[in-house]
Amino acid sequence: RQDQLVQAKKLSSLGVLTSGVAHQLNNPLNNISTSCQILLEDLDQLDEDFIRRVLTNVEQEVARARDIVKGLLEFSRAKEFTIVPTNLNEVVAKTVRLISSQVPPGVRIETRVSENMVVEMDPQRMQQVFLNLFMNAIQAMPEGRGEIWVTAEYDQAAQQVLIRVRDTGCGMSEEVASKIFDPFFTTKEVGAGTGLGMSIAYGIVEKHRGHIEVESREGEGTTFTIILPVKRSEA
């Protein structure tokens, strides 16, 4: 089940980023890895000039990897967004249905969103955001037990909607929380996490001229708040 979850999340992430391009990253990463191996193997015997050349190469490969990541993110932003008045509850419900087979029996997803709340959004993209948030929340419950709450409130004065996804998972330290929106940041085992889910969510929400914020306590849980602007005629 955990494998399926990881796979689904990987695919959904890459779907947004356009598949295949991520493979380009393997080249610079392999070169960096080889360079490090060379240095580590006979560091004492190597002369300084040689070490300098290898490190210069590493630096160039890191720059190349960074460019690829930048390109990926820009590409995903460049792809057309179709922002239309959308029933928020329906998008959340659809996402819950989509992952229902992957939710452990001990995890409950509770949705408290008014049935007639309409918000301007790209429904596909926002579904992706909820998917990524739910997957992470589930993965934050290693015992397979806990609750996920989805709520939404309309702030008339500020003309915005605040959507909260709260979980009773493992939570995270302040240091981790400050990095989760960085592309490729992950605390999960090699191969288990792409580190892209939250940066994609961030990019999508930003594209809606909104914000996504995180609040977390280790051992207690995490709350994500998505703030989306609302036109006066809606909600």
Under rule CB under 6 A, residue 172 binds ligand ADP:
yes
Under rule CB under 6 A, residue 212 binds ligand ADP:
no
# residues near ligand ADP by CB under 6 A: 23
Nearer to ligand ADP by Cβ, of 34 and 102: the residue is: 102
User: CA 169, CA 222: separation in Å to the nearest integer?
Assistant: 7
Among 12, 167, 168, 228, binds ligand ADP (CB under 6 A): 167
User: Minimum distance between the CB of residue 61 and ligand ADP, rounded to whole angstroms?
Assistant: 23
Under rule CB under 6 A, residue 104 binds ligand ADP:
no
User: Minimum distance between the CB of residue 127 and ligand ADP, rounded to whole angstroms?
Assistant: 15
Residue 128: closest CA among 198, 182, 72, 185:
198
Nearer to ligand ADP by Cβ, of 33 and 187: the residue is: 187
Among 72, 96, 129, 140, binds ligand ADP (CB under 6 A): 140
User: Minimum distance between the CB of residue 121 and ligand ADP, rounded to whole angstroms?
Assistant: 20
106-112 sheet: strands from edge to edge: 106-112, 145-155, 160-167, 221-229, 211-217
Nearer to ligand ADP by Cβ, of 32 and 133: the residue is: 133
User: Minimum distance between the CB of residue 35 and ligand ADP, rounded to whole angstroms?
Assistant: 26
Residue 137: closest CA among 164, 166, 163:
166
Under rule CB under 6 A, residue 185 binds ligand ADP:
yes
Under rule CB under 6 A, residue 169 binds ligand ADP:
yes
Under rule CB under 6 A, residue 17 binds ligand ADP:
no
Nearer to ligand ADP by Cβ, of 87 and 171: the residue is: 171
DSSP structure string for the chain: -HHHHHHHHHHHHHHHH-TTGGGGGHHHHHHHHHHHHHHHHTTTTS-HHHHHHHHHHHHHHHHHHHHHHHHHHHHHHHSPP--EEEEHHHHHHHHHHHHGGGS-TEEEEEEE--TT-EEEE-HHHHHHHHHHHHHHHHHT-TTSEEEEEEEEEEETTTTEEEEEEEE-S----HHHHTTTTSTT---SPTTT--S-HHHHHHHHHHHTT-EEEEEEETTTEEEEEEEEE--TT--
Under rule CB under 6 A, residue 107 binds ligand ADP:
no
Nearer to ligand ADP by Cβ, of 161 and 170: the residue is: 170
Under rule CB under 6 A, residue 136 binds ligand ADP:
yes
Residues near ligand ADP (CB under 6 A) are 132, 136-137, 140, 167, 169-172, 176, 180, 185-188, 193-199, 222
